[in-house]
Structure 1
């Protein structure tokens, strides 16, 4: 989304000025390390098409449970008409309710979120052609907003240099920062932290070209 405005769904988390700071952090990273890093934020990774039905069923079941002790009274007062109307109402409001990030996180199991976020991250990693750089040293710093999850992927040229423990530490630290700080500051500091960790084992070499760009990638 280079040169584009921040989308509405991200404006509560990121400001226009943050884009320049993040890009500067990427440039600083690549001036110190023989690798390239691409930060990315997506609106969500999880499938939510089933949520309206789930919400409708939950609300309808709750209504039936609440009314069950009073079923004689309900039957005597035309409840057979009003209960289906209530369920129809639940079906109508389920669509706007399903757009709530809080409800999405509540209704989608954490294991499913983890799987779908990682799958989306790998999809974006391949879409960016990060495996086609000359040195095969690309890193994708991926954040999925709805799930509030972070994934860090790297190409084979960083195998043996970037250890799983390093990835876990960087991801945990960035997730904590995203929760407690502005996202612009969190991403900027997260990129710098990774750069500082890699500068010694992988110092910048002369003659390397920028193959992946420096701006923050923003996608739905």
Structure 2
């Protein structure tokens, strides 16, 4: 996914896209990009510990097969030393941790963060419950569109899945801002179809990309 920093110009492009989309709908669009959704120290430490135990078993059986022996205290000390070195490495190099965590757990963390942002940014508190969050978590290579209940009643999940596919494809080409702009245009078109703008419409959420 994207590695290039999001520039002030990119932020302005996304904000302009939100403002343009919301001129045609009573719905609200909110965008959040997270650099990572978790620190992953403990999941990575668990996976590393499990790996060391598995390797230790293999080494133990290998030594026995070769008619070699090692004193148990020395073997345990070697395990503890290996574990200490790995944990120190994980602590010193946060970017390494995520590579030890299964994709399913990474996606769970990113999804949980998307829901957290949806609630924390008050996307669920629009008058007609027509708020939509466009969320990306870069480290996990994850994107999600979270729609409030007023929209979910009229728009199927397959629509948002298509938006996410386009967004992740653009982000994968290091064009995250372009992906957000296209996603906003797509979401705006859906909202305009089901919730066209009315004379009493007010802007209930900030029109900018939040970077966390």
TM-score by length of 2: 0.79
Aligned to 2:32: 40
- Judged with a 3 Å threshold, the aligned counterparts in structure 2 of structure 1 residues 152 and 93 are, in CA distance, closer, same or farther, namely same
TM-score by length of 1: 0.77
For residue 22 of structure 2, the aligned residue among 11, 23, 30 is 30
- Residue 162 of structure 1 aligns to a residue in which SS? coil
How many residues were matched structurally?
207
Q: Retained in 2: the 8 A contact 1:13–1:183?
A: no
For residue 116 of structure 2, the aligned residue among 112, 123, 128 is 123
- Residue 41 of structure 1 aligns to a residue in which SS? strand
Separation in 1 of the partners of 2:87 and 2:14? 37
Q: Retained in 1: the 8 A contact 2:37–2:137?
A: yes
Task: Report the CA distance between 1:101 and its aligned residue.
Answer: 4.8
User: Unaligned stretches of 5+ in structure 2?
Assistant: none
With 140-149 and 78-87 compared, the bigger mean Cα shift is at: 78-87
Aligned to 1:3: none
For residue 166 of structure 2, the aligned residue among 164, 167, 173 is 173
Separation in 1 of the partners of 2:138 and 2:69? 44
Aligned to 1:107: 101
User: Unaligned stretches of 5+ in structure 1?
Assistant: 1-9
Q: Retained in 1: the 8 A contact 2:52–2:82?
A: no
Separation in 1 of the partners of 2:48 and 2:167? 32
Superposition RMSD on alpha carbons, in Å? 3.0
Separation in 1 of the partners of 2:134 and 2:118? 10
Aligned to 2:152: 159
Q: Does 1:217 align with 2:179?
A: no
- What are the Cα deviations for residues 82-124 of structure 1, in whole angstroms up to 9, with x where unaligned? 77246424423334436555652542351x3343332322222
